[in-house]
Amino acid sequence: MARPPRLDVIFERYADPVWFLTLNTLARQRWLDHAAIHAALENFALHGRDTGRAYVGRYVLMPDHLHLFVQLSRDEVLGEWVKALKAILVRASAGQTGRWQKGFFDHLLRHSESYREKWEYVRMNPVRAGLVPRPEDWPYQGEYCPLRFD
């Protein structure tokens, strides 16, 4: 299936696009909020940074979903990157059900203001879910790379 023509214009303007992603576990099973999963996410993010192909910015790893911001190089395909991330996190869930809902939600960010607004909403997820009283108390969140907007 061909990409809609307007997307070519968008991608020419945003050489290294920043994406806001949400990945959900299958049937919203709660298996993501564990130290091993968090460590696997960190290793994946730092490997992407070290190879210059993917820069994971801020993220929140909830029990049944993951929100993150990522800036990909032109050589990286979003769907393939997400597929690899999902596989890494499933492997880290050794002994648990570790399955993902098909697909993912993605949104192309167009400026830093959008990043700040979305992050403010995302960082409050653990508080709204009743997991912690303050967002900074949630151990499965942070930032791996500051993301830039050209």
Structure tokens at 91: 């492997």
Is the model's pLDDT at 54 over the cut of 90?
yes
pLDDT band at 110 (very low <50, low <70, confident <90, very high): confident
In a domain, residue 148? The reply is no
Q: For all residues of the chain together, what is the average pLDDT?
A: 89
Average confidence (pLDDT) over 120-128: 96
* Of 23, 58, 68, 60, residue with least CA distance to 144: 58
Average confidence (pLDDT) over 76-93: 95
Find the CATH number of the domain harbouring 28: 3.30.70.1290
Domain count, the chain: 1
- Print the domain residue range for 41: 5-143
- pTM given for the model: 0.87
Average confidence (pLDDT) over 80-89: 96
Is the model's pLDDT at 83 over the cut of 70?
yes
In a domain, residue 149? The reply is no
Give the per-residue pLDDT at 25.
Answer: 96
Q: Who contacts 129 (Cβ-Cβ below 8 Å, separation ≥6)?
A: 62, 63
In a domain, residue 27? The reply is yes
Termini Cα distance of the chain:
30
In a domain, residue 117? The reply is yes
Give the per-residue pLDDT at 74.
Answer: 86
In a domain, residue 150? The reply is no
Residue type, 52: G
